[in-house]
Amino acid sequence: MEPHKETPVVRRRARGVQRIESILNAAEAVFMEMGYDEATTNHIAARASISPGSLYQYFANKEEIVQALAARYTEELRLVYDSVSSSEAASLPLVDWINQSIDGLVMFQLAHPALLLLFSRNEPLLQFSSAVQALQEEVLTRVEGGIQRRAPHLSATQRRLSATISVHLFRSILPLLHQSNEAERDLLLHELKTALYRYLEPLLDKNMNHISGKTKGLSMVE
Amino acid sequence: MEPHKETPVVRRRARGVQRIESILNAAEAVFMEMGYDEATTNHIAARASISPGSLYQYFANKEEIVQALAARYTEELRLVYDSVSSSEAASLPLVDWINQSIDGLVMFQLAHPALLLLFSRNEPLLQFSSAVQALQEEVLTRVEGGIQRRAPHLSATQRRLSATISVHLFRSILPLLHQSNEAERDLLLHELKTALYRYLEPLLDKNMNHISGKTKGLSMVE
DNA sequence: GAATTATACAAGTAAAAGCTCGCATTGTCA
DNA sequence: TGACAATGCGAGCTTTTACTTGTATAATTC
């Protein structure tokens, strides 16, 4: 993956590649300690035990660091996604699908607290950086796929809507996980799974026949 | 009791009170245009058509402006809260309670886009400012109260858990509303209400669920 | 070995943004 | 009216921070 710019091609040496990794690690640590805005490039450089000048040899600006970090996350998260949308996962009952997906994603999140920052940076009128946007879109698409496999009769609109609600519900709980001890975390996660199940279950094919009885008064908005 | 010099009592004049309001209005506008970090105090002052110096006569720093804004929101939101947790609302069927609450809160949010900013500023390890924290806590408590009325058998833990999930689900959808047109908004809101209903309905004490408004003197609670 | 390129540094720059200061004006009260 | 407090201003101070620059060293290629 070389930068395709008209500027001189930089042929990284082993040390350079290593440096990039260590900068990203430092950035991850500093971001999750101080947040994106408070994290200065000098802080990141210091954490990586290099000079500011060295940092700027590998990244043109602060934004590029976030981009690279998001790209790295995207790559690592693909493993989790694959387990969620694999052919085996596709045939799992909804309960188990939810269970495995949430557990996998939560484990990843707990291991990479800075991921939350990238996800939840929503400055109005300021569009997300492209890599982060791609990350968000990918999660949504995967969930949509899982829903489609289990409820193929749904319209594309409804599918996307359901995936959107599900993803946002999940994401909204993430910040709480970091402020909780293990017991509270387990409670929260169980409740999150319950909410997701109750929301998604009525969408499933086999249940389409009797949901009207269960949710009869639900024509709340037309 | 001798008067202390170190506590400068400022007796605001009518003009001053007006200025404070106009500064808050300006801050609200600027915040929702550029986000909290990009919004400079000079921007806010300019928007309010006053000098930076004048701004700093009323607010010691940028943070205090946010505090005051949050306080103002808290006050205005209390009206919405009251309609949600009033005695009439308490006897409403769950569907209608959800409907009214969401509609009320969403209407407020759409009228005050900057509220979202205060809500969703989650810098890790950096605790929210006290006024914003109070705002969040108040919403949670009101929802908790509504749940308790409808499901008095729930444990305090479960009640708080359910309220937490509900509030976070609601909040996670708010940012989407501002990027949507009216049709998409309606779809989203309907879906949000559906999710909330499906999640909360199983918690209900079924006896209370079918109370039809006019039953007076029948109190199974308290 | 020579030329070239990548790596490394740290002092330094420029601009931005929060905030201050001195001073002038307006309003209030005795 | 005179004293005092509140209001108002805007140039500019201070600090911060993203980023640069000049130079020196290590690695790769010929």
Q: What is the 3-state secondary structure (H, E, C) of B131-161?
A: HHHHHHHHHHHHHHHHHHHHCCCCCHHHHHH
Amino acid at A157: T
**For residues A160 and B185, what is the distance between their CA atoms, to the nearest angstrom?**
14
B34/A contact by beta carbon, under 8 A: yes
Walk along chain A (222 residues) and give the pLDDT tens digit of each residue.
Answer: 333 334 456 766 789 999 999 999 999 999 988 888 889 999 999 999 999 999 999 999 999 999 999 899 988 888 888 877 787 888 899 999 999 999 999 999 999 988 887 777 656 544 556 777 787 888 899 999 999 999 999 999 999 999 999 999 999 999 899 889 999 999 999 999 999 999 999 998 764 443 333 443 344 433
CA A147, A153, A155, A158 torsion: positive or negative? Answer: negative
**For residues B105 and A42, what is the distance between their CA atoms, to the nearest angstrom?**
42
Cβ proximity of A115 and A107 under 8 Å: no
Q: Which residue of A has its CA nearest to B199?
A: A195
Cβ proximity of A24 and A50 under 8 Å: no
Residues of chain B with pLDDT under 50: 1-7, 125-127, 209-222
B209/A contact by beta carbon, under 8 A: no
**Nucleotides of D strand lying within 7 Å of any protein CB atom:** 5-12, 16-22, 27-28
DSSP A206: G
User: What pLDDT, on the 0 to 100 scale, is given for residue A122?
Assistant: 59
Cβ proximity of B205 and B150 under 8 Å: yes
**For residues B49 and B27, what is the distance between their CA atoms, to the nearest angstrom?**
12
Tokens 């559906």, located at residue: B194
User: What pLDDT, on the 0 to 100 scale, is given for residue B88?
Assistant: 81
**For residues B17 and B34, what is the distance between their CA atoms, to the nearest angstrom?**
26
Query: Minimal CA–CA distance to A105: which of A128, A135, A127, A130?
Result: A135
> Residue B83 is encoded by which pair of tokens?
């309609």
**For residues A144 and A171, what is the distance between their CA atoms, to the nearest angstrom?**
15
What are the distances in angstroms from CA A64 to CA A23, A24, A131? 12, 11, 10
Cβ proximity of B104 and B83 under 8 Å: yes
What are the distances in angstroms from CA A153 to CA A116, A140, A148, A203, A213? 33, 19, 8, 9, 19
**Amino acid A20 CA to nucleotide C1 C1' distance, rounded Å:** 32
Which nucleotide is the nearest neighbour of A57, by CA and C1'? C7
Residue of B199, B209, B211, B212 to mutate for A, most A C-beta atoms under 10 A: B199
Residue B72 CB contacts under 8 Å (≥ 6 apart), including other chains = B24
Taking the CB of residue A41, how many other CB atoms lie within 10 A of it? 17
Cβ proximity of A183 and B130 under 8 Å: no
User: What pLDDT, on the 0 to 100 scale, is given for residue A220?
Assistant: 40
Cβ proximity of B16 and B58 under 8 Å: yes
The burial of B158, by beta-carbon neighbours within 10 Å (0-12 exposed, 13-18 middle, 19 or more buried), is given as: middle
- Whether any strand D atom is under 7 angstroms from the Cβ of A15: the reply reads yes
> Residue A42 is encoded by which pair of tokens?
């000098």
Query: Minimal CA–CA distance to A130: which of A40, A175, A64, A61?
Result: A64
Tokens 């444990």, located at residue: B155
B40/A contact by beta carbon, under 8 A: no
The distance of Cα B3 from the centroid of its chain, to the nearest Å, equals: 38
Using one digit for the tens of pLDDT, what is the confidence trace for A78-112?
888 887 778 788 889 999 999 999 999 999 999 99
Cβ proximity of A159 and A144 under 8 Å: yes
Cβ proximity of B135 and B73 under 8 Å: yes
Cβ distance B192 to A165 less than 8 Å, yes or no, reads yes
> Residue B23 is encoded by which pair of tokens?
């500064």
Helix (H, G, I), strand (E, B) or coil at A124: coil
> Residue B27 is encoded by which pair of tokens?
């801050």
The burial of B198, by beta-carbon neighbours within 10 Å (0-12 exposed, 13-18 middle, 19 or more buried), is given as: buried
- Whether any strand C atom is under 7 angstroms from the Cβ of A19: the reply reads yes
Cβ proximity of B146 and B159 under 8 Å: no
